[in-house]
Amino acid sequence: MSLYDKYYSQQNKNYMYELITNIVKKEYNSDPTQLNSYNDAYESNFKNAFHKINTDDIKDINKELLDTQVNYFVSNLYDRDKIFTEGNSANKNLKESEQTNLIINSNNRIINLEHSSRYHYKINLPDLKKNSFFIEKVVLPIDDSSLFIGPLLILNVNNIPVELQMIANVSMNDRTYGIYTPFYEKRILFKEPIITFRFTNMVSTNEEKNDLFKILESEQSLNQLMINRSENYQEGDHIRICDFEKKSSFTKILKIESVNHERDRTIIKYISDKEGEKLLVKDLYLLNLNEQNTIHITYE
């Protein structure tokens, strides 16, 4: 049997999963099998380990898998798992976490109708009487842009560069999401609540394509709409429709049923959450929620 067949056998895959899980349970008093992200990371790390190690010995590949999976758990899930598994202290820990942690999503950015990009945007932070924070983790979908020429990124926060390294990736809904952490802690001082985030690659470039589209046409009877051509929409994505021009308070989240690309237009057919509902969405704006990035910061 070849090394490939030995490693990818169901027997080896199950054996390593149980071995790593038992180590985590013993060393960290935690059951990671209850966390979906742990299982997703295992699937990804299992595939990546085979290609990362140049060896003829399956033991070397399995060790790489073990180290990577345990490191992923400790770096990304251990503290979160403790919050929900420490019995009577759970509520206290959660409250403390909420006071010092903030999850930022590019979907909630300050919208610029002229050009709006999930790779370069501004966020209005809540008033928590703090004057500094640290970047803890970043999760963003990986695409074919020049931003992802390697496993390293730079997140510029008010023009202060924070160097990031990819520690894992997770596949969901036909997309791959990279999980990044800083190489080292860097305190970000701020005086104003509006913070600018800009992603670049390690040579400080990025395309920064617009990802906010105006709806040009809408067919109510067919549950479909038309925008300028964009390759960034696919079946199963969730879209947010809003009136970012503030003409009304209308907002709607819908799931894409199908996508058809024409010469200079993209036609999106969506699934209405209410049977028979007819939406008037022409001249409103469209944002793909599946493409947004998330930034975890801690205040100090």
Q: What phi and psi, each to the nearest 5 degrees, are found at residue 126?
A: -70, 155
Residue-wise pLDDT for 61-95, tens only, equals 999 999 888 887 776 655 444 444 444 444 444 44
161, 223 Cβ separation under 8 angstroms: no
Same CATH topology for 101-209+292-299 and 212-289: the answer is no
pLDDT band at 247 (very low <50, low <70, confident <90, very high): low
270, 223 Cβ separation under 8 angstroms: yes
Please give the CATH topology (third level) of the domain spanning 212-289. Thrombin, subunit H (2.40.10)
Widest CA span of the chain, in angstroms? 67
In this structure, whether the domain defined by 101-209+292-299 belongs to CATH 2.60.120 is answered with yes
| Predicted pLDDT of residue 144 | 87
Domain extents for the chain? 3-85, 101-209+292-299, 212-289
Task: Give the residue, 284 or 40, on which the prediction is more confident.
Answer: 284
Please name the residues in contact with 266: beta carbons below 8 A apart, sequence gap of 6 or more: 226, 227, 228, 229, 230, 233, 259, 260
pTM, whole model, 2 decimals? 0.65
Structure tokens at 147: 């931003």
Amino acid code (one letter) for 232: N
